[in-house]
Amino acid sequence: MAISQLSATEKAAATTLYLMPVPTKITHSAGEFRLHADFQIQVTGAPDERIYPAATRMLRRLSGRTGLFFPQDFITAADNAKNADLKINCKRPGKVELGENETYVLTITPEHINLNAETDIGALRGLETLLQLLSADANGYYFPCVTIEDEPRFAWRGLLIDVGRHFMPVHVIKRNLDGMAAVKMNVLHWHLTEDQGFRVESKIYPKLHQLGSDGFYYTQEHIRGVIKYAADRGIRVVPEFDVPGHATSWLVGYPKLGSKPGPYEIIRKWGIQYAALDPTNENVYAFLDQFFGEMAALFPDPYFHIGGDEVEQGKHHKAEHWNANPGIQAFMKKNNIADNAALQAWFNSKLVKILTKHQKIMIGWEEILHESMPRSIVIQSWRGAEAMVSAARAGFQSILSRGYYIDLIQPTDFHYLNDPLPPDISLNAEQKNLILGGEATMWSELVTPENIDSRIWPRTAAIAERLWSPQHVKDVDDMYRRLQSVSMQLEELGLTHEKNYEMMLRRLAGSANIHALRTFVDLVEPVKRYKRHSLNKNLTSFAPMTRVVDTARPDAQVARIFRKNVSAYLNAGNKTIAERLQADLKLWNENHDELSMIIERSPVLAEIEPMSKTLTQCAEIGLQSLSALRDKRTLDKNSIANAKRVLAQAKKPVAEVELMVVSGIEDLLEAAGK
């Protein structure tokens, strides 16, 4: 078949292989480089030292995937095999900083592989591309012959991990840094303080971590270890110390900094709290000067995130601490501060001075955007599309997180198609340059170290592609095709998004026999956005995160493929697809009996029993519709009306999960009624 006869997705597949992010430019040529057991790597040029362990890790991953026993142990500058198979050349040492050159050129011929980059950080990106190119046939492993010229579209490609609400041990952070590096992300935004926990050791103010963390915090050695680990992968670490709101855990040890008299206790529930630092108290600034000075020395990146979100800007409420504090109210009157937003801007302008003194650039959530602020700061957009546009027009740099809230369990394509700089954005070229990139945000109300990876991966790989690849790369089907392969490759880095699924199912079933349970959970997703909090008032920082809702994964693949098959069948009536649909529906229709037996032994599963019964009914409707469609019969009006009622009911969440095949079955029913 000629390329011109292929569908858009097939064309993409032929050129994008299994690469994610898709490179800027890829030129295919004939032949392949066959991988052999004597494969050797040589590094030349003037790279930073980080290239040697990075090349060694790449070689070990290649060895792990292929089972080949390569002769090199630790690659060093002394390795200069005359005929090295992979030659890496870097012109100069890369700096782990915003805007560093990350370009690379990868050339694969049947004889050699050359990876050329301005910096070792570019070379790191190229090594990940090379690993993704590994292919196999009956004769062995090979790399297809290509030339790839690659560079990122945006300089800031981040992942926020919130360790305040649920603490994440160092090894969880490290495995996610490995995942980020695999898809060429370059910023870990480490959200370190929250109402629920203060997670960094302070030697100057030790009561911060001693009283504010329940004992779950990082020592400064841990922090330095993570920064080194990230820098070895070309990833910046931007810490966030959220002030003046979200600060309860600071006040447990230092109540006098607050806007209300103490004592304060660590918060266990979720939602916006009223506790806030007192912006009228000079001791607060002296404290922050000292503390930020300590942290400025600990975190080398010039950018320093001060949060600034969700302080009292909305409708006034007497219980809010600023509004209820007569001293603060008097201060505002005296200084002509019109409202709380202006009060926060007053606070932030003092923070800018402190940070500037410590050689840091302030970054904060969009609430810090205020006409009075200096243009050196960076705005992180999270609520509305307009924030970035108005920030850019006002001359502020910004990054996008709205639409990348991966904690809200939305499907991959929703995030994938969310562009920081959509073609229709009404900004001039100069203003567009102020948009630095974006960040996926992993807020941790509803995740533990056990299931956090399943919320981050693989969806974040698609966000990474949005931030790296050219704007025109947006074929959703092709993205899903590649995502499946990337997801499995991420497992070699220790990420648990795949393997903890069955582990959690085994615990739920109390048995290794999880077949029927898996069939069911494959079809459900947690409810979206903030709905879990309204459905379940018992969700706290110590609530169990081990139920079906915590096990079920975002963008459930089996359900998604079913919906896609329905739509393909209704479009083209393909017989193979009909058979696949029939088999799926039959399996689901008959699943309940076996699942009931599991539920009977596992009371933790009792909550999903109604939905399991519903699945039986929905599948029955699907089978009847399918049968009518194949026989070109029309279902009678009564049964259609009944079925519609059942399906409408089936869309309602049960046990905080949704059944994700109902809309597909509705489509079948709809078609069978015509």
Provide the annotated active-site residues. Answer: 310
- Among residues 112, 499, 529, 575, the one that binds a second copy under rule CB under 8 A: 499
| Contact region with a second copy (CB under 8 A), list: 239-247, 327-335, 391-399, 539-547 | 539-547
Residues 182, 184, 186, 190, CA torsion sign: negative
| Contact region with a second copy (CB under 8 A), list: 80-88, 104-112, 564-572, 601-609 | 601-609
Query: Per rule CB under 8 A, is residue 498 in the interface with a second copy?
Result: yes
Contacts to a second copy from residues 140-179, by CB under 8 A = 140-141, 169-171
Instruction: Give the tokens for residue 353.
Output: 């001075």
Q: In a 3-state reduction of DSSP, which class is residue 349?
A: helix
Residue 451 phi/psi, 5° resolution? -120, 5
Residue with tokens 């194949």: 630
Instruction: Indicate the residue among 11 and 224 with the shorter CB distance to a second copy.
Output: 224
Q: What is the DSSP letter of 607?
A: G
Question: Are the C-beta atoms of 370 and 341 separated by less than 8 Å?
Answer: yes
Spatial separation of the C-alpha atoms in residues 437 and 152, rounded to whole Å? 10
- Nearest one of 626, 674, 622 to 643, comparing CA atoms: 622
State the burial class of residue 261 (Cβ atoms within 10 Å of its Cβ: 0-12, 13-18, 19+). exposed
Q: How far is the CB of 502 from a second copy (least distance, A)?
A: 7
Query: Per rule CB under 8 A, is residue 600 in the interface with a second copy?
Result: yes
DSSP state string for 212-241: HSTT--B-HHHHHHHHHHHHTTT-EEEEE-
Query: Per rule CB under 8 A, is residue 502 in the interface with a second copy?
Result: yes
| Contact region with a second copy (CB under 8 A), list: 246-254, 328-336, 416-424, 486-494 | 486-494
Spatial separation of the C-alpha atoms in residues 529 and 515, rounded to whole Å? 29
- Give me the amino acid identity at 292: F
| Contact region with a second copy (CB under 8 A), list: 125-133, 419-427, 603-611, 659-667 | 603-611
Distances (CA, A) of 499 to 446, 492, 505, 521, 595: 19, 11, 10, 15, 21
Q: In which element (H, E) is residue 543 found? A: none
Spatial separation of the C-alpha atoms in residues 101 and 478, rounded to whole Å? 28
Query: Per rule CB under 8 A, is residue 136 in the interface with a second copy?
Result: yes
Instruction: Indicate the residue among 171 and 256 with the shorter CB distance to a second copy.
Output: 171
- Among residues 99, 215, 263, 423, the one that binds a second copy under rule CB under 8 A: 215
Query: Per rule CB under 8 A, is residue 73 in the interface with a second copy?
Result: yes
Spatial separation of the C-alpha atoms in residues 347 and 337, rounded to whole Å? 11
| Contact region with a second copy (CB under 8 A), list: 2-10, 364-372, 401-409, 485-493 | 485-493
Q: How far is the CB of 263 from a second copy (least distance, A)?
A: 14
Count Cβ neighbours within 10 Å for each residue of 50-71 and write b for 16 or more, e otherwise: bbbebbbbbbebbeeebebebe
Query: Per rule CB under 8 A, is residue 601 in the interface with a second copy?
Result: yes
Q: How far is the CB of 586 from a second copy (least distance, A)?
A: 19
- Give me the amino acid identity at 629: L
Instruction: Indicate the residue among 70 and 396 with the shorter CB distance to a second copy.
Output: 70
Query: Per rule CB under 8 A, is residue 419 in the interface with a second copy?
Result: no
Query: Per rule CB under 8 A, is residue 364 in the interface with a second copy?
Result: no
Query: Per rule CB under 8 A, is residue 353 in the interface with a second copy?
Result: no
Query: Per rule CB under 8 A, is residue 602 in the interface with a second copy?
Result: yes
Please count the residues of this chain forming the interface with a second copy, following the rule CB under 8 A: 59
Q: How far is the CB of 524 from a second copy (least distance, A)?
A: 15
Q: How far is the CB of 489 from a second copy (least distance, A)?
A: 8
Q: How far is the CB of 661 from a second copy (least distance, A)?
A: 20
Spatial separation of the C-alpha atoms in residues 198 and 204, rounded to whole Å? 14
Query: Per rule CB under 8 A, is residue 76 in the interface with a second copy?
Result: no
Span between the terminal Cα atoms of the chain, in Å? 36
Query: Per rule CB under 8 A, is residue 492 in the interface with a second copy?
Result: yes
- Among residues 384, 470, 544, 610, the one that binds a second copy under rule CB under 8 A: 544
Instruction: Give residue 89's Cα distance to chain centre.
Output: 32
Instruction: Indicate the residue among 225 and 255 with the shorter CB distance to a second copy.
Output: 225
Relative to beta strand 86-92, strand 113-119 is parallel
Question: Quick one: the chain helix, strand, coil %, rounded to 5?
Answer: 45, 15, 40
Query: Per rule CB under 8 A, is residue 594 in the interface with a second copy?
Result: no
Query: Per rule CB under 8 A, is residue 538 in the interface with a second copy?
Result: yes
Q: How far is the CB of 257 from a second copy (least distance, A)?
A: 24
- Among residues 14, 272, 297, 488, the one that binds a second copy under rule CB under 8 A: 488
HEC assignment per residue over 52-96: HHHHHHHHHHHHHHHCCCCCCCCCCCCCCCCCCCEEEEEEECCCC
Query: Per rule CB under 8 A, is residue 139 in the interface with a second copy?
Result: yes
Q: How far is the CB of 139 from a second copy (least distance, A)?
A: 8
Q: How far is the CB of 347 from a second copy (least distance, A)?
A: 32
- Among residues 603, 637, 638, 674, the one that binds a second copy under rule CB under 8 A: 603
Q: How far is the CB of 513 from a second copy (least distance, A)?
A: 11
CB atoms within 10 A of CB 137: 9
- Using CA atoms of 68, 74, 79, 81 in order, give the dihedral in degrees to the nearest 10: -10
Question: Are the C-beta atoms of 273 and 248 separated by less than 8 Å?
Answer: yes
Query: Per rule CB under 8 A, is residue 547 in the interface with a second copy?
Result: yes
- Among residues 7, 27, 44, 219, the one that binds a second copy under rule CB under 8 A: 219
Spatial separation of the C-alpha atoms in residues 370 and 373, rounded to whole Å? 6
Q: Mask of contacts with a second copy, 33-72, x by CB under 8 A?
A: --------------------x------x--xxxxxxx--x
Instruction: Indicate the residue among 488 and 641 with the shorter CB distance to a second copy.
Output: 488
Spatial separation of the C-alpha atoms in residues 22 and 148, rounded to whole Å? 10
Q: Mask of contacts with a second copy, 435-454, x by CB under 8 A?
A: --------------xx----
Query: Per rule CB under 8 A, is residue 268 in the interface with a second copy?
Result: yes
Query: Per rule CB under 8 A, is residue 74 in the interface with a second copy?
Result: yes
Instruction: Indicate the residue among 436 and 611 with the shorter CB distance to a second copy.
Output: 611
Residues 308, 313, 318, 324, CA torsion sign: positive
| Contact region with a second copy (CB under 8 A), list: 123-131, 133-141, 370-378, 425-433 | 133-141
Instruction: Indicate the residue among 428 and 538 with the shorter CB distance to a second copy.
Output: 538
- Among residues 95, 507, 563, 580, the one that binds a second copy under rule CB under 8 A: 507
Residue with tokens 């017989």: 575
- Among residues 10, 494, 580, 586, the one that binds a second copy under rule CB under 8 A: 494
Spatial separation of the C-alpha atoms in residues 60 and 44, rounded to whole Å? 20
Q: How far is the CB of 543 from a second copy (least distance, A)?
A: 5
- Nearest one of 187, 380, 186, 212 to 291, comparing CA atoms: 212
Q: Which residues bind a second copy (CB under 8 A)?
A: 53, 60, 63-69, 72-74, 136-141, 169-171, 214-215, 219, 221, 268, 449-450, 484, 488, 491-492, 494, 496, 498-500, 502-503, 506-507, 510-512, 538, 540-547, 600-604, 607
